[in-house]
Amino acid sequence: MIAFSKRNLTLFFNSKSNLFFSVMGALIAFVLYLVFLKNNLITSFPFKLSHDLLDAWVISGILVVTAVTTSLHALSQMITDREQGRLADFTVTSVPFWQLQASYLLCSFLISVSMQLFMGLIMYSYFAVTDDITIPWELTPKIILLSCLSSFVWTTFNLLILSFVKQVKTLSQLGSIIGTASGFFAGVYMPIGVLPKTAQFITKLTPAPYNAALYRQFLLKDLLKEQLSGLSHVQRQLFEKQMGIHLSLNGFLSSSQMILLLGAFFLGFTLVAAVAMKHSRRANLGHV
Q: How many CB atoms lie within 10 A of CB 109?
A: 20
CA dist., res. 78 & res. 27, Å (int):
25
What pLDDT band is residue 268 in, cutting at 50, 70 and 90?
A: very high
Residue 172, classed as helix, strand or coil, is: helix
Residue 279: predicted pLDDT: 64
Using CB atoms within 10 A of its CB, is residue 93 exposed (0-12), middle (13-18) or buried (19+)?
exposed
Query: How far, in Å, are 87, 95, 101, 148, 153 from residue 98 at the CA level?
Result: 12, 8, 5, 22, 19
> Distance (Å, rounded) from C-alpha 118 to C-alpha 59?
12
Q: Quote the pTM value.
A: 0.92
Task: In whole angstroms, give the CA distance from residue 240 to residue 247.
Answer: 8
Taking 50 as the threshold, does the pLDDT of residue 287 lie above it?
A: no
| Crossing angle (nearest 10°) for helices 97-130 and 2-13 | 40
| Counts of helices then strands in the chain (DSSP H, E) | 13, 0
Q: How far apart are CA 89 and CA 40, in angstroms?
A: 54
Query: The domain containing residue 88 runs over which residues?
Result: 2-285
- Percentage, residues of the chain above pLDDT 90: 55
Q: Give per-residue pLDDT as tens, 57-116.
A: 999 999 999 999 999 999 998 888 877 777 666 666 666 767 777 888 999 999 999 999
Residue 117: other Cβ atoms inside 10 A: 16
Distance between CA atoms of residues 15 and 19, nearest Å: 6
Q: Give the integer Cα–Cα distance in Å for 218 and 215.
A: 5
3-state secondary structure of 252: strand
Number of domains in the chain: 1
